[in-house]
Amino acid sequence: MRLSLRQLQIFLAIAESGSTTAAADLIALSQSATSSALIELESMLDARLFDRLGKRLKINDNGRLLLPQARQMLDAASTIEKQFAPGGLESGAGLHIGASTTIGIYLLPKMLSAFGLKQAGAAPSVTIANTSEIATAVINFELDIGLIEGPWHDPDLHVEPWIVDDLIVVAAPSHPLVCDNSQHPISIKALREALWLLREPGSGTREAVEHALVPYLHSINAGGQFSNSEAIKHAAAEGLGLACLSRLVVADFISAGRLVELSTPLPILKRNLFLIHQRHKVLSARLQTFLRFCRERSNQK
């Protein structure tokens, strides 16, 4: 077999950086050695993988065909190395975990502590971003597992429902609807006219809120868009609008009296949180152990 993992590593570095010079810096090779490896790979495959635009290399159709296969092979090789490293079968060291914002802030730290990843040298790498970014990174083998707040439909992803999360509508104690609610029930019309504080497009929370509210309100009158739920919580506490957030996010502010849970004519609002991994990923022993742990947490929840 003439194809080597090193060639695929160089190919991926060029695809990500756009030039052999930048790729050489990423993988600690000389520029000439990087160029030679690419030429050798293209010659062996009898196909150009990049279009040459001066000094820039832009991946073409052939390269895009090879890209997911190269990622899969390198990920499998990396999994083998990590699995048989000292302590690799017992610890969670080396795991690359991705979590969407609410899960990453409010659930994952306690989970990692319970999983026993506090000791030095055994901590995993954790990435927190919105659902879209986590799903993309899992698809590209950049993350071993994702914990996300909305369903994601892609043929390369294995997606399984995980925890059912409660969504509640909250506002500052000074908000007009809170004051009116003491005298009169809140109407659907009042909710339609109110300003709502929302997450950015691509967020699992944004998708869940729209899925829960739009069938009843028909549209959501946006009063602001924020990149994380914590910012929405603080904005709502300052009276900038209503928020529909996970009970996990706002429990502390409700206890402190900074936010009030509204009684509305809406049905009970819930959403699923999901576990995802690349469908073609080799699941190491430690990753399977962590997946089992996550599923057990679901049962406890």
Average pLDDT, the chain: 87
Give CA–CA dist 269/267, Å, rounded.
Answer: 6
**Best CA proximity match to 164, nearest among 272, 28, 82:** 272
Residue 31's φ and ψ, nearest 5 degrees, are -65, -40
pLDDT band of residue 205 (cuts 50, 70, 90) is confident
Residue range 226-261, pLDDT digits in tens: 988 999 999 999 999 999 999 999 999 999 999 999
For residue 135, pLDDT beyond 60: yes
Give CA–CA dist 145/26, Å, rounded.
Answer: 24
For residue 188, pLDDT beyond 90: yes
User: Looking at residue 195, what is its pLDDT?
Assistant: 96
Residue range 235-244, pLDDT digits in tens: 999 999 999 9
Residue range 169-180, pLDDT digits in tens: 999 999 999 876
CB atoms within 10 A of CB 189: 9
Give CA–CA dist 222/192, Å, rounded.
Answer: 10
Token code pair at residue 73: 């092979």
pTM score, two decimals? 0.70
**Best CA proximity match to 22, nearest among 36, 6, 35:** 35
DSSP assigned state of 124: P
Give CA–CA dist 176/147, Å, rounded.
Answer: 36
Give CA–CA dist 15/85, Å, rounded.
Answer: 29
For residue 214, pLDDT beyond 80: yes
